[in-house]
Structure 1
Amino acid sequence: MKKNIPFFLIIILLINCKESTKQSESIASEVVESERNSTWWKEGVLYQIYPQSFKDTDGDGFGDFRGVIEKLDYLESLGITMVWMNPFFESPLVDNGYDISDYRAIHPRYGTMEDFQEMLDGMKSRGIKFVLDVVVNHSSDEHEWFQSARSSRDSEYRDYYHWWPAEKGKPPHRHSLFDPEGGWDYVEETDSYYLHTFAEAQPDLNWENPKLRQEVYDIMKFWAEKGVDGFRMDAFQFASKDTTYPEFPEGHEKDFVKWYGMRPQLHEYLKEMYKEVIEPYNVFAVAEGAGSTFKDAHDLVDADRNELQTAYHFEYVDMSRTPERYELSEFKEVFTLWDKEFSENGWLAIFLSNHDNSRLVDRFGNPSPEFRTVSTQMLNTFLLSMRGTPYTYYGDELGMTNIDMPTIEEYVDIDAIGKYKTALAANEDVEEFMKVLNYSSRENSRTPMQWNDTDNAGFTSGMPWKKVNPNYKEINVAAQENNPNSVLNHFRKMVKLRKENEVLVYGDYQIIQQEHPEIYAYTRTLDNQKMLVLLNFTDQDSNISLPEVNSLNNTLINNYEALTINNNTITLKPYQAAIVSIKK
């Protein structure tokens, strides 16, 4: 006998069925995300701001927090999800803020703590996380800890630093990255020497002292409680020292990281930091540098280590430190090796420029007026289509270039001046040295942001702290804002494509024709989605033959009007960059 089911029961059954399906889909999604260890800092796009060069609002020639606040809508328009800002703490500014005299105070040139909080809140309201630059391998010699420590061997802060008493004789040689005289400096008040890996004004902190470590964790907690979402640990691979200070072999400084970095105790301290700060405050941390080996990098960032979250290495930056053209084959090899090594465990930061290197387009592209736009677009396509968290340096979304500074008198950077003195002491060819410095100096990446074609590129109404690049009349935000083919709008499209397609974040990477001398081609594959990335790294047309041509579907990104395809051969125009979906 057939029975009719009441209509309201059918509705209930349908709702239950739908909810069950939703729960199943949700569980499945959670399983996939768990397998990928999905997190916001993996899926984000980071934008680095050098604060004194970004935007000045009070006419003193230095960028400030209110300048960033004024440009928050611009940052949001880029689509970026994180901002890392270089140090803005109280400092005598011997090394542009990487010499901190008070870790809880803001240098007046940048504004007040209230300005900082307004800036931070403005970012948060726009969905942008904030990453703080933490400089704790060393402090300033004007920090109260060091001022006390240098005045008396009985100071409570004496063991916050590394000391060598003069009665033991001359200290063993230590190389200094900024000081040609070496890494020990004498203090008459206590008849002893202190250690500095960088400048004389940057004494190294003694991480072997648990009291010092707790001071650092308390500083990090102070900023985390204000809403900071992550920490970039400056020069942190050098924080732990061998306090026996053994003699190193002659020429050891050529492999600086091997001899001065990644001591085993560092991992103990990072685990302690994770327990004290990273885990309870749900923040992430990335260390500048990743050691000398893949094992070093994994030991820093593999999830089960409970230390840091992201590896930030320099191997591909090191290949372009001189004006001689780098080899694309080496570029491919480095990125492919690192991707393979981190395909299962750990996570990478992907970057091509920052405040310590010259401009992206000068190093890896072509800054000539004819090719600057397309080559910068090509490099940004690469940066935003690789596995890892992409780091973009301010101005690279415009194609800002190096600035010509052929004489040493034009330089204010302590790194450049220190290297010049070292070159003189070693009787190097000064003309050749200056040629390399002009190309590779950090000064190139620190010129003011180019907002428009008015005086000083709209950066300041006063005298800028550093000369504005004369090409600001052609390269600026205003000139590119409404041009759909500009570097700026291509960058925005690329960020949007990455954010909308997890395949560009978590997808497998497979290089194609690694031996090709001109084209860098690879696929990204995740589940049923597959994309082909095609990049011509030269100023000539170049061909690549692909058997999958018939499987190509939609062109998702292209810095030219179209792809040229004949039979199974694709011809890429100079610096052409395209991403195409592939039918599976």
Structure 2
Amino acid sequence: MWWKNSVVYQIYPRSFADSNGDGIGDLNGITAHLDYLQKLGVDVVWLSPVYQSPNDDNGYDISDYQNIMQEFGTMEEFDRMLAEMHKRGIRLVMDLVVNHTSDEHAWFIESKKSKENPYRDFYIWREGKDGKEPNNWGACFGGSTWEYDRETDMYYLHCFSKKQPDLNWENKAVRNNIYEMMCWWCEKGIDGFRMDVISMISKEQSYPNGEIHGGSSYADFGPFVCNGPRVHEYLQEMNREVLSKYNLLTVGETAGVTIEEAKKYANLDGTELGMVFQFEHVDLTVGEFGKWTDERFCLKDLREVLNKWQTELEGKAWNSLYWSNHDQPRAVSRFGNDGPMYRKLSAKMLATCLHMMKGTPYIYQGEEIGMTNAYFEKIEEYRDIESIHAFEDAMERNIMAEEDMISALKVISRDNARTPMQWNRSRHAGFTTGTPWIGINQNYLQINAEDALQDADSIFYYYQKLIALRKQYNIVVDGIFYGLLEDDDKIYAYERILGNQKLVVGCNFTDKKVDCTLFDNAEEGEELISNYKHHKKGILKPYEARVILFS
């Protein structure tokens, strides 16, 4: 299981690097920056979708699984990128989006034609009830999960946008087509799949009404869709038909996952997936208005979640480790301090905290240089379908003041992660010579890759060192995790044990110096990494992180 020793770097292609000046990142832009990734030391690239798509949800609405979106390039350019990655010892994990397709996919175009069409049952069609939708479920991007089709006088299910109809996994022909497509990509030489909302592929077949909470017009579909009745059966079948035949990294995005479910998805027998993404630590501030809040997390809550996943999966399943991705705000803005005084220190602290845990770490593009939230001031600056729909819904229902909703978007919107990669100080941060598809974060003059590469003390080189430590010390990969200082509201600390070795990790999550006796005998061990050059006995400085190995 090579992926246990690996570090994964996520690329959101639309925002990574534009090679042709159209303002949109592309495959050739990625190929041009592979030396940068090799220098960083990552082993794997997870590439967000590059398949043909109308782009209703930035590529997560796929109209052809075996073609490349024109804006991103050609299949020949994809093949060249893959070959160049492999030349540098970098493997490629593709995004697999098979809970739904685009409504412009050939299967759905056929499915809509008539109730007798051979592709009708590739999707989930239901009769209405009393002139209304089949049930009261609400879609992730607003409105009902059901869209009426006048031609056949029926509704189709879409858990996300109405342009993303859900596939009917109960239909064996659907599953066989998906497995065939996956094998096609594996034969091309890719090295794994990140599986989008894979926990949602099996639905409760009675499609019952759900409970409506918090003044919403619709019910949460989660209890009937997430971790559904046949999901493990389907994934075991996928494993037999595809995954077990290739040497792949597989990670499932598993909305609503519990520890017990995760032990099934990512069991060490390898009958389903290699690991899953859980969301408890990034959902800590979910409240009355769902994710839309500018509240900050509490360290005790964060520790409780992360420690639980570390300890309860020990010996039973493998963890994935992440602070941010294309659906989450920037790590240093959310969990650290993105002000000029502490941005570098807190970014390094967060990196230390995550990379010394047990599991496979994921770095989201720009995280390694400490990119921050965009803090857009106006709704017109946003491009994300989820953010725009949430804003419109809040205004329409008058449940939040406009300034409060903008404040929440600044903190939590997915677009914070989607502003273009900041390469240098040139116009548009070196991302494009054209007009970027979304605004550039205006701090690119202070935060960019070129400057980071010229600064020996940069966040980039700190990440490089963390990645190297994973290769050098087995305890980082295999050591058993034990939480320390579990009642502390300022310090996150833990140890890893392997044989007679002990790794002690301490991270100050505040901008104040705090008392800490964890490292009073540090001279008896080996300091593997720290974000301060000099230490003071009995305290941790603001955002200080230390890792000591005792043998």
More displaced, 280-289 or 202-211? Answer: 280-289
Q: In structure 1, what is the equivalent of residue 258 of structure 2? A: 293
2:330 matches 1:368: no
Q: 1:266 aligns with which of 215, 231, 235?
A: 231
C-alpha distance in structure 1 between counterparts of 2:349 and 2:12, whole Å: 24
C-alpha distance in structure 1 between counterparts of 2:231 and 2:507, whole Å: 39
Residues 122-172 of structure 1 deviation map (CA, whole Å, 9 limit, x = unaligned):
111111111110111100000111111112111111000001135875311
1:232: Cα distance to partner?
A: 0.8
Contact 1:556 1:579 in 2 (8 A): yes
2:300 matches 1:329: yes
Contact 1:387 1:505 in 2 (8 A): yes
Residues 154-193 of structure 1 deviation map (CA, whole Å, 9 limit, x = unaligned):
111100000113587531122100122x110111111111
C-alpha distance in structure 1 between counterparts of 2:223 and 2:206, whole Å: 17
Give SS of 1:392's match: strand
Q: 1:344 aligns with which of 290, 310, 315?
A: 315
2:117 matches 1:155: yes
Q: In structure 2, what is the equivalent of residue 458 of structure 1? A: 430
- Equivalence map 1:515-526=2 (5 Å): 515-526=487-498
- Equivalence map 1:165-184=2 (5 Å): 165-166=127-128, 169-170=131-132, 171-180=134-143, 182-184=144-146
Residues 497-537 of structure 1 deviation map (CA, whole Å, 9 limit, x = unaligned):
12211111110112221112211121112123222111111
Q: In structure 1, what is the equivalent of residue 174 of structure 2? A: 212
Give SS of 2:341's match: coil
Contact 2:502 2:549 in 1 (8 A): yes
Contact 2:6 2:44 in 1 (8 A): yes
CA 1:83–1:196: 2 relative to 1, 3 Å: same
Residues 20-65 of structure 1 deviation map (CA, whole Å, 9 limit, x = unaligned):
xxxxxxxxxxxxxxxxxxx211110000000011111111111111
- Name structure 2 gaps, 5 residues minimum: 286-290
C-alpha distance in structure 1 between counterparts of 2:488 and 2:135, whole Å: 49
Q: In structure 1, what is the equivalent of residue 283 of structure 2? A: 318
Q: In structure 1, what is the equivalent of residue 288 of structure 2? A: none
What's the RMSD between the two structures over aligned residues? 1.6
Runs of 4+ with deviation above 6 angstroms: none
C-alpha distance in structure 2 between counterparts of 1:242 and 1:532, whole Å: 46
Q: 1:73 aligns with which of 11, 26, 35?
A: 35
Q: In structure 2, what is the equivalent of residue 414 of structure 1? A: 385
1:307: Cα distance to partner?
A: 1.0
C-alpha distance in structure 2 between counterparts of 1:176 and 1:325, whole Å: 26
Q: 1:527 aligns with which of 495, 499, 514?
A: 499
1:249: Cα distance to partner?
A: 2.5
C-alpha distance in structure 1 between counterparts of 2:219 and 2:303, whole Å: 25
C-alpha distance in structure 1 between counterparts of 2:520 and 2:339, whole Å: 34
Q: Which amino acid aligns with 1:543?
A: D
Q: 1:577 aligns with which of 542, 545, 551?
A: 545
Q: Which amino acid aligns with 2:509?
A: F
2:369 matches 1:398: yes
1:434: Cα distance to partner?
A: 1.9
CA 1:254–1:328: 2 relative to 1, 3 Å: farther
- Equivalence map 1:360-509=2 (5 Å): 360-430=331-401, 431-509=403-481
Q: Which amino acid aligns with 1:149?
A: S
C-alpha distance in structure 1 between counterparts of 2:261 and 2:121, whole Å: 28
Q: In structure 2, what is the equivalent of residue 98 of structure 1? A: 60
- Equivalence map 1:94-243=2 (5 Å): 94-166=56-128, 169-170=131-132, 171-180=134-143, 182-243=144-205
Q: Which amino acid aligns with 2:546?
A: A
Q: In structure 2, what is the equivalent of residue 303 of structure 1? A: 268
Give SS of 1:556's match: strand
Contact 2:24 2:436 in 1 (8 A): yes
Q: Give the structure with higher Rg (CA).
A: 1
Contact 1:378 1:576 in 2 (8 A): yes
Q: In structure 1, what is the equivalent of residue 486 of structure 2? A: 514
Give SS of 2:525's match: strand
Give SS of 2:548's match: strand
- Name structure 1 gaps, 5 residues minimum: 1-38
C-alpha distance in structure 2 between counterparts of 1:245 and 1:515, whole Å: 43
CA 1:484–1:414: 2 relative to 1, 3 Å: same
C-alpha distance in structure 2 between counterparts of 1:493 and 1:304, whole Å: 32
2:315 matches 1:353: no
What TM-score, normalized by structure 2, do the two folds share? 0.95
Q: 2:242 aligns with which of 277, 281, 291?
A: 277
1:446: Cα distance to partner?
A: 0.2
Residues 277-320 of structure 1 deviation map (CA, whole Å, 9 limit, x = unaligned):
00012223211026442111112111236111102100001125
C-alpha distance in structure 1 between counterparts of 2:176 and 2:532, whole Å: 54
C-alpha distance in structure 1 between counterparts of 2:26 and 2:251, whole Å: 25
Contact 2:122 2:167 in 1 (8 A): yes
More displaced, 447-456 or 553-562? Answer: 553-562
Residues 250-275 of structure 1 deviation map (CA, whole Å, 9 limit, x = unaligned):
33977653332111211111111000
Contact 1:450 1:476 in 2 (8 A): yes
1:547: Cα distance to partner?
A: 8.2
CA 1:344–1:255: 2 relative to 1, 3 Å: farther
More displaced, 111-120 or 253-262? Answer: 253-262
Higher helix share: 1
CA 1:256–1:538: 2 relative to 1, 3 Å: farther
C-alpha distance in structure 1 between counterparts of 2:128 and 2:516, whole Å: 66
Give SS of 2:547's match: strand
What TM-score, normalized by structure 1, do the two folds share? 0.90
Q: Which amino acid aligns with 1:359?
A: R
